């Protein structure tokens, strides 16, 4: 999978992808990340990438021409051109799957489900806005989606692009040491959708089915006057699974009750949720 990031601050990404899983995924050739300096696609003496907004008001807007130039340099035409080309070449493998994404506070929320969808795409181009944002015609002409990483305003799309790369990349098969890790974690898939198979090694977890993860503990058993839950040291896989499921339901009920509306829940889950006081810790 290839990520391409278009930014006015290419230096921002120096070092950011050189740690942990992202670094390993690149070293193993599973992921490549390219960074394009938007100023390379300007043609004036000042290398201007921004201009005043039509209609007045505060701030500046990223001009469309350098962005179109950067996209064209990647061989990416407008959506209309891409659709026309796709019709001419009906054999799917001839064209790598592509998503052009504009990072924007006005975008649809980045969720684990969106990251899972992107992990199946061969090429993802990320456009980082700055100032008041990007001339809307770039969105209209080139972008397949606008993505927001949360309900707050960043000063630029670079942090958001790094978040998209990290979240997506770890869901590409082969990137995590154990692919099932991406299923047994916060916002993971439901038991019924787990592909690793009930028949394999006995699992001590439930697929989260859209819930938050359960709390984790490691040695020592006693720390700061608190003891790790005895059940986790009991070796009883059934009881461990039950305890973890209860904890997932508890955390979700307390911290993210909105997630319960879409989660895959059994009658037993609903009974547990009813017994949790939302104010409890
Ligand atoms: N005027 C814009 C608005 O109110 O929605 C905010 C522009 S912001 C200062 C500059 C750039 O940061 C945006 O163009 C976008 O690329 C990026 N950005 C800001 N917040 C973001 C978020 N929550 N998710 C993704 N990108 C964001």
Domain ranges of the chain: 2-169, 187-274
Q: Mean pLDDT over residues 263-280, rounded?
A: 89
Pocket lining: 60 vs ligand 1, CB cutoff 6 Å: no
Regarding the beta carbon of 128 and ligand 1, being less than 6 Å apart is answered: yes
Is pLDDT above 70 for 7? yes
Percent of the chain scored above 90 by pLDDT? 79
pLDDT tens digits, residue range 216-234? 999 999 999 999 999 999 9
Average pLDDT over residues 100-127: 97
Dist. CA 40 → ligand 1 center (Å): 22
The pLDDT score that the predictor gives to residue 194 is: 64
**Spelled out in words, what is the top-level CATH class assigned to the domain 2-169?**
alpha beta
- Contact in structure between 259 and 210 (CB atoms under 8 Å): yes
pTM, two decimal places: 0.93
Domain 187-274, CATH 1.10.1270.20 — does that match? Answer: yes
Q: How far apart, in Å, are the Cα atoms of 258 and each of 189, 213, 253, 261?
A: 17, 15, 8, 6
Residue 200: the pLDDT is: 43
Average pLDDT of span 199-210? 61
- Ligand 1 centroid–CA 150 distance in Å is 10
Which residues are within 8 A (CB) of 120 and not within 5 positions of it... i.e. 6 or more apart?
A: 97
Q: Ligand 1 atom closest to Cα of 62?
A: 14
Q: What is the pLDDT of residue 203?
A: 57
């Amino acid at each position: 999978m290839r990520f391409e990031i278009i930014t006015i601050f290419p230096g921002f990404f120096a070092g950011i992808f050189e740690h942990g899983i992202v670094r390993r995924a690149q070293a193993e050739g599973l992921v490549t990340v390219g960074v394009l300096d938007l100023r390379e696609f300007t043609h004036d003496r000042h290398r201007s990438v921004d201009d005043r907004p039509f209609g007045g008001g505060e701030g500046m807007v990223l001009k469309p021409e350098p962005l179109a130039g950067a996209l064209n340099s990647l061989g990416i035409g407008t959506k209309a051109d891409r659709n026309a080309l796709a019709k001419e070449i009906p054999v799917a493998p001839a064209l790598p799957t592509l998503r052009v994404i504009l990072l924007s506070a006005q975008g649809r929320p980045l969720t684990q489900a969106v990251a899972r969808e992107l992990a199946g795409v061969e090429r993802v181009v990320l456009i980082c806005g700055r100032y008041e944002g990007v001339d809307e015609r770039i969105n209209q002409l080139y972008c397949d989606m606008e993505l927001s990483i949360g309900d707050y305003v960043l000063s630029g799309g670079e942090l958001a692009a790094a978040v998209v790369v990290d979240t997506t990349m770890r869901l590409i098969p082969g990137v995590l040491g154990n692919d099932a890790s991406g299923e047994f974690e916060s916002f993971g898939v439901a038991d019924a959708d787990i592909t690793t198979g009930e028949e394999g090694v006995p699992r001590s977890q439930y697929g989260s089915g859209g819930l938050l993860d359960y709390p984790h503990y490691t040695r020592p058993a006693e720390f700061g006057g608190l003891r790790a839950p005895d059940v986790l040291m009991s070796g009883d896989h059934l009881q461990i699974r039950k305890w973890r499921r209860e904890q997932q339901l508890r955390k979700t009920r307390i911290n993210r009750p909105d997630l319960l509306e879409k989660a895959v829940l059994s009658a037993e889950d609903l009974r547990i949720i009813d017994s949790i006081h939302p104010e409890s810790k």
